[in-house]
Amino acid sequence: MIWNMHSILLETPGETAQGMIGKMIFIHVPAAFTAFVFYGIAVIFSVAFLATKDFKYDSVAVSSIEVAQVFTLINLVTGSIWGHIIWGIWWTWDLRLTSQFMCFMLYLGYLLMRPAVAEATQRATMSAILAIFAAADVPLVVLAIRLHNVRTQHPAPVLETGGLTPRWYALAGISWLAMLLIASALVLVRLRQETVKREIDSIRRELHAVYGINMDAINQTFFFYGYSAAWLILLGFVLLLVKRGQRIDHELTRLKSLVEDKDK
147-204: per-residue pLDDT in tens? 666 666 566 565 555 566 666 667 777 888 989 999 999 999 999 998 888 888 778 7
pLDDT of residue 1: 56
| Range 35-51 average pLDDT | 96
- Do residues 56 and 120 lie in contact, with contact meaning Cβ atoms separated by under 8 Å? no
CA angle 4, 30, 107 (to 5 degrees): 145
pLDDT of residue 156: 58
Q: How far is CA 171 from CA 19, 76, 127, 175, 252, in A?
A: 17, 21, 36, 6, 60
pLDDT-derived band at 37 (thresholds 50, 70, 90) equals very high
CATH class of the domain whose range is 2-211: mainly alpha
CB count in 10 Å sphere of residue 52: 10
CA angle 169, 170, 173 (to 5 degrees): 85
Q: Domain extents for the chain?
A: 2-211, 216-264
pLDDT of residue 59: 93
d(CA 146, CA 82): 21
- Do residues 153 and 112 lie in contact, with contact meaning Cβ atoms separated by under 8 Å? no
pLDDT-derived band at 14 (thresholds 50, 70, 90) equals low
Q: How far is CA 72 from CA 22, 42, 126, 158, 238, in A?
A: 19, 14, 22, 19, 37
d(CA 101, CA 56): 29
d(CA 28, CA 187): 20
pLDDT of residue 74: 92
pLDDT of residue 245: 84
Query: Rounded to two decimals, what is the model's pTM?
Result: 0.72
Find the Cα–Cα–Cα–Cα dihedral 158, 160, 164, 168, rounded to 10°: 110
How far is residue 58 CA from its own chain's centroid? 19
